[in-house]
Structure 1
């Protein structure tokens, strides 16, 4: 009772580290006794009996509707026993599981009573100043102990895992160094129960405990940091712990909506993405949950802004972090593209940056937005212009200097093609560019280019749907037509002869008008056919003479060819070829 009265005069200030509670400050609560491990075991046993008695009394008062007595029954123990639970935190690394479990069960039982007690108190119309101050101290003290225990358990269990709970041996076998005391310790279940308690207490109008009614940032961070700490465990990404991830983001959603935690949350998510690769998909799913369940639209733009303003040199140096940013943003865009679209201006600058991973990220987001938002038939002018801009960027980066980016862009185009999201007016141009990529120096680019060409052919909107048999029949007909045109029905020698004769006929048709003009000039001038300027026939055979005439005609020396012809007629009179 004396301690409780003292607590009406001192305030519990949430410390940034445990040591601050050991320092005595005027008007602030400080820890007087840090018990040793041997002392703790007995203290916790005595405390457990006291807490369970308080809780039993609390239940009686609750069901008998003695509201004025409830606040005195189940939660005041923390004012006398805070030092004991604080000592558990101090010795957490050295303490065995049985002692830690005692402390854990006590704070869980007490926090459950706190939630119920606050619910009753807030139902009252008036909350006097003394009760308000005391319940604020109790709430902060219990929340501090609970959240610090949660984080300490996370550290202890992760340390045991890293020290070889499961160790790969050289022969491929696994041996376990896991202590027997942890065999039946289901931390996931215990952690989830604790988060549910935190979620339940956040449903209450806790702001009423503060004056003015605005919860202090340190209190909000206590709860939020427990969520972030739990996410550091790689196991959180497994499908079986989806329920736990959803609980984390339900808590964060309340903190953002009611306690102004949005900006801090976005900074923390960026930090987690940078450090923990396993969180890419869980965090993306969590952001989608925050948007859909709590309407936290602003956090999306804040995240895009933080990533978009990251210096290009930092993105190049931190390749794993950049890859995490990229995968995270693309996954968010797949689910809520309508919130990424207004913030695209913050990302497009990276298309000309040196980080190929960020170029892939921005292009991937553009592809998702085109596919999910800008592929409708009834787009307005602004949406159509934006779609064309995105497609222009995708078209330009088919020739990106980095092969990974070229592969990514080809994959985006293939998906757009399969979903029939490429405007007809652009398909021909894209196909020409893709065919050019078939000669790329990268084998992966060639492979994806071939797949895209195949997708274009399979999805050709102008192609008739013909069966294979019909196509084969049509092909056979066309081959027969070609053979007839080329004279393939005769021998090879006859075919060549027909081609040669056809070519000569075409050549004669072309030069016939000019030859006619030359002959007319001869007739008009009255020149005798056997007169001067005649070419002396140098060939001994008719065939050679005719070949020489053909050459002269081919060289367009028509007058010389005429006189050679006249002389040939004289030299070989009556020849059949003449």
Structure 2
């Protein structure tokens, strides 16, 4: 009997001499020394022996050595040799596996005859062969994969290339067959050959280790057969053979390390649970992840993201098992890693969607599962207020998925809608985007009906409330919306679930009642019938009223967001604008109040320079207004023009012109518009006719031939009797004349020229048009005149003369004098002022069209005063503020954005003004927001850093650092900031400045590459270090000053002037406060020079207060041998010194401030010698004072 085979640590370890009696390679052959022909013969011999002898001949030393030699040199074998060897090993192993069952039956029969020895020998041989085949085939896979991944393909000689067997070696298919064979070997009953259900530890370790190593190859996992075999191997070893702990650790390690392995590992774990009905592996993995310290995920963001994705994938595959273990992961909601929190939110969404669909079993188990579901929903609502914008966004996405799958009950619907509406004002763009998408999906899948007008809901609700009151006599009517179950059951105060048994009935009743409500709401809208259809008994009516109340709340909630949506359309984020437009389109579809007005405010966005915004506006316009029916499209467009202001009409002109060019507005739609203009459609008003002509004029900008086909209609209707009914119709006709093609202009001059010019003259010189319309009409009429008339100057001169005559008519002057005498001067003067205004209007337009001074221009010089314009951004008047913002918005479009050059000047001027900090921040933030180019941002970093050098004011330091924090830092900009450290080093002592620099560092870390991130972290350490050093210096200086003041208070004394002294240099009165180490002088009068020199000579430090002493200090400094020294810092106030007079009057020296100090080279020695003299002089002066 051959020795036992034990799995070695590696292939070459088989050549080592074992200490025990184990099977090993005794005489391996060096395959590299064989010639190709010899190698072919050698492989054929091995293959023949394997196929000719018994299955367990592989344990024979000779066969074992030869197979080992070939496996060791497998990478250098020719393809044909590889194929022959692998096929021989694989076929033998395939035959060996079914024999295990037959061996079991034979052994059972022989055991009955008490012949155990042959059976045990046979089992040992089978076990050896099983291990050897597994070992060699696994090494074939490892060798070939290593060879493939390294790119070192086996060298094939010229002789071997000519053989047809070269094409028979397809490694991908062979790899799948080998791994599937190993997986099959693990799924059969191995208890007999291994003796117990726990297989050989070395065998399991070898198989699992190799399987996990293959999982590290992303290319290999793309092949289904290979991946499926690996998943089966992992599942069998971990679950069937209880190799759980090691497998769990390896799975978590691979998930942390490789992103691509996440879904495959989830498949392996889920496959094991389903195949063996054992969730031990999945539970162990969840338990280990739950035990992990949340702080470790902060340090490894990539690993955290992979683990999060794995949890989501696993919860999707095993929702019921995961729901029983979710409590292990809930503590991670309190961790700092937002990626884990995002994943847990996704897990909750999967569990709510899948784990509670089929709730079976006893009432107690149902109650537990329903409570679990309710707790998950509460967590999702709570996470909408997470500190991380990414988590808030993910929660809203999960709610959108649940709404899309109709998993949110009516009782919870309005709560979710309120959360989504509130998140529209979130500071993060990604949260706003998710909130907009959630509202879109909630509208699309709302359970209340296709029409959500508030008035309709209120009317229908009122009717059914009356119906309910009739069914409930004597009971006070109240809102029954609270009666709607938030989920499948309701919780009482103790947390128990009520009415679980009636769950299905209640849900069915609620759904049917909701459907009835929708049907009756639609019927009421369509027929405006006041009758109330009978919906059933009392409970059904209550449910119907509850659903109507919920629908009314939802409609009001969405309608209340319209002002916010208008603001979002002005957002600088393109995603905000696009998603807001999509939401407004959905709101209009469901007839939400205010949606139509908001959509009109979308039109100016067509001028946006962002292509995505322009396309969103255009697509929305086509969807809403350009229908398949030409008549409906025409009516939509003319109504849109009628109720639009000038700005909206300019936007409409741009959109309609583009659509005509693209062919989205067809000829049939143009024909429908002509029908509206020509009153060919019944019920058309003059206003609608004017709107149709306006749309045609807009379309004519892209296709000038549109207007020529109905030229006579334009003249007859536009300048005919309908113009008196709708005065603006004449103005629109003038615009149409201007936009005629050259061919049609000539035709107009030939057929109707005199008539048209006469009408234009009457429009300008007549008084039949109201003032509010005349100016706009005259403007277009004069433009039309200069557009189509061959010699417009002649006609314009006549117009000016006639307009002059209408103002300064003599008869009218006589009437004016009479009216003045009658005391109505003010009224008539106003009337003629209006005429004069018209006359001046005509003159100005004629001059502008005559071409006088074409080279004249205006240049506004704003340099040096631009800060005044910037101040207006925060003006109290909203209109002025908006105009100032518009000014800078337009200025930013000129050239290379002048704001970039003006910003440092604006910053300097604003910092010197008495401006609130909040206003300053808002102005600077707005201005920096208009700078988009990275190069300009990088240059601003250098400019702003250099401004630190010339500034010592703490406030300006704070303002400059705030500006820096608002910039968008690129890699180059961040490096420049680090290089210019010396410029702002003095400002780092201020906490506010440090806060702004910390904001810069935090922004830089978010998207920095690993190399730059290291530099940023080093820079952060440097900043913190210098900040602490500066703070320590301040504390030390403050402590020294306080100590100095205490000493001064103990040793000081008062010296008064001797009034009786007759010296020529009489001294002015003063108080002198000094000590041996410090003399502080606070003068009341001028200090004489001799006293000043005395103090200068005898003291350590002198402090002089007052401008006269400062001047004298400077003048005497050159003459003395003392050195002027400026103190570093003095804080606080000096101690007050009091000397009691005999009469009880207390004399105090006032507080003084430090201005300067002097130092003598021999001051210490001199002070020591003169100390006694000073004390004597002082005592004599005090005695003389008292006398």
Q: Same fold (TM over 0.5)?
A: yes
CA deviation vs aligned residue, 1:48-68 (integer Å, no higher than 9, x gap): 33533552x5xxxxxxxxxxx
Q: Per the alignment, in what secondary structure is the counterpart of residue 261 of structure 2?
A: helix
- Contact 1:359–1:405 at 8 Å: present in 2 too? yes
Q: Per the alignment, in what secondary structure is the counterpart of residue 87 of structure 1?
A: helix
- Contact 2:348–2:376 at 8 Å: present in 1 too? yes
Q: Per the alignment, in what secondary structure is the counterpart of residue 333 of structure 1?
A: helix
Structure 2, unmatched stretches of 5+, are: 111-117, 154-163, 453-521, 527-587, 598-1187
1:168 is matched with: none
- Contact 1:47–1:81 at 8 Å: present in 2 too? no
2:1059 is matched with: none
Query: 1:376/1:437 Cα in 2 relative to 1: closer, same or farther (>3 Å)?
Result: farther
1:396 is matched with: 382
2:128 is matched with: 137
1:198 is matched with: 182
Distance in 2 between the 1:473 and 1:157 partners? Answer: 63
- How many Å apart are 1:258 and its aligned residue? 3.7
| Alignment partner of 1:75 is 2:71 | no
| Alignment partner of 1:341 is 2:318 | no
CA deviation vs aligned residue, 1:407-440 (integer Å, no higher than 9, x gap): 1111011112222322433333332222121111
Which has the higher Rg, Structure 1 or Structure 2? Answer: 2
- Contact 2:239–2:281 at 8 Å: present in 1 too? no
Distance in 2 between the 1:222 and 1:194 partners? Answer: 15
The 5 A counterparts of 1:418-497 are: 418-463=404-449, 465=451
Query: 1:376/1:293 Cα in 2 relative to 1: closer, same or farther (>3 Å)?
Result: closer
- How many Å apart are 1:401 and its aligned residue? 1.8
Distance in 2 between the 1:135 and 1:473 partners? Answer: 78
2:143 is matched with: 152
1:316 is matched with: 298
Query: 1:39/1:107 Cα in 2 relative to 1: closer, same or farther (>3 Å)?
Result: farther
Distance in 1 between the 2:592 and 2:130 partners? Answer: 84
2:93 is matched with: 111
- How many Å apart are 1:141 and its aligned residue? 1.8
CA deviation vs aligned residue, 1:125-178 (integer Å, no higher than 9, x gap): 23622222233222222221111111221221122299xxxxxxxxxxxxxxxx
Distance in 2 between the 1:440 and 1:248 partners? Answer: 46
Query: 1:44/1:135 Cα in 2 relative to 1: closer, same or farther (>3 Å)?
Result: farther
Query: 1:231/1:81 Cα in 2 relative to 1: closer, same or farther (>3 Å)?
Result: same
- Contact 1:407–1:445 at 8 Å: present in 2 too? yes
The 5 A counterparts of 1:19-418 are: 19-24=12-17, 25-39=19-33, 42=38, 45-52=41-48, 55=51, 57=52, 73-79=54-60, 80-93=62-75, 97-124=79-106, 125=108, 126=110, 128-160=119-151, 185-211=169-195, 214-238=198-222, 241-374=223-356, 380-418=366-404
Structure 1, unmatched stretches of 5+, are: 58-71, 163-179, 480-578
Distance in 2 between the 1:342 and 1:375 partners? Answer: 15
Distance in 1 between the 2:167 and 2:85 partners? Answer: 19
Q: Which moved more, 1:299-308 or 1:33-42?
A: 33-42
Distance in 2 between the 1:388 and 1:220 partners? Answer: 43
- How many Å apart are 1:221 and its aligned residue? 3.0
- Contact 2:338–2:388 at 8 Å: present in 1 too? yes
- How many Å apart are 1:244 and its aligned residue? 3.0
- Contact 1:273–1:325 at 8 Å: present in 2 too? yes
- Contact 2:58–2:129 at 8 Å: present in 1 too? no
Query: 1:203/1:288 Cα in 2 relative to 1: closer, same or farther (>3 Å)?
Result: closer
Distance in 1 between the 2:231 and 2:407 partners? Answer: 34
Q: Which moved more, 1:365-374 or 1:340-349?
A: 365-374
- Contact 1:256–1:296 at 8 Å: present in 2 too? no
Distance in 2 between the 1:377 and 1:207 partners? Answer: 38
Distance in 2 between the 1:290 and 1:212 partners? Answer: 21
Q: Per the alignment, in what secondary structure is the counterpart of residue 278 of structure 1?
A: coil
Q: TM-score, normalised by structure 2?
A: 0.34
2:9 is matched with: 16
- How many Å apart are 1:278 and its aligned residue? 1.4
- How many Å apart are 1:300 and its aligned residue? 1.2
Query: 1:161/1:276 Cα in 2 relative to 1: closer, same or farther (>3 Å)?
Result: farther
- How many Å apart are 1:181 and its aligned residue? 11
- Contact 1:333–1:340 at 8 Å: present in 2 too? yes
Distance in 2 between the 1:320 and 1:344 partners? Answer: 23
- How many Å apart are 1:385 and its aligned residue? 2.5
Query: 1:196/1:383 Cα in 2 relative to 1: closer, same or farther (>3 Å)?
Result: closer
- Contact 1:44–1:102 at 8 Å: present in 2 too? no
Query: 1:455/1:153 Cα in 2 relative to 1: closer, same or farther (>3 Å)?
Result: same
Q: Per the alignment, in what secondary structure is the counterpart of residue 260 of structure 2?
A: helix
Distance in 2 between the 1:322 and 1:209 partners? Answer: 43
Cα RMSD of the aligned pairs, angstroms, is: 3.5
Higher relative contact order (CA 8 A, sep 6+): 1
Q: Per the alignment, in what secondary structure is the counterpart of residue 271 of structure 2?
A: helix
CA deviation vs aligned residue, 1:500-528 (integer Å, no higher than 9, x gap): xxxxxxxxxxxxxxxxxxxxxxxxxxxxx
Q: TM-score, normalised by structure 1?
A: 0.67
CA deviation vs aligned residue, 1:420-477 (integer Å, no higher than 9, x gap): 322433333332222121111221211111121233334443456478x96999989x
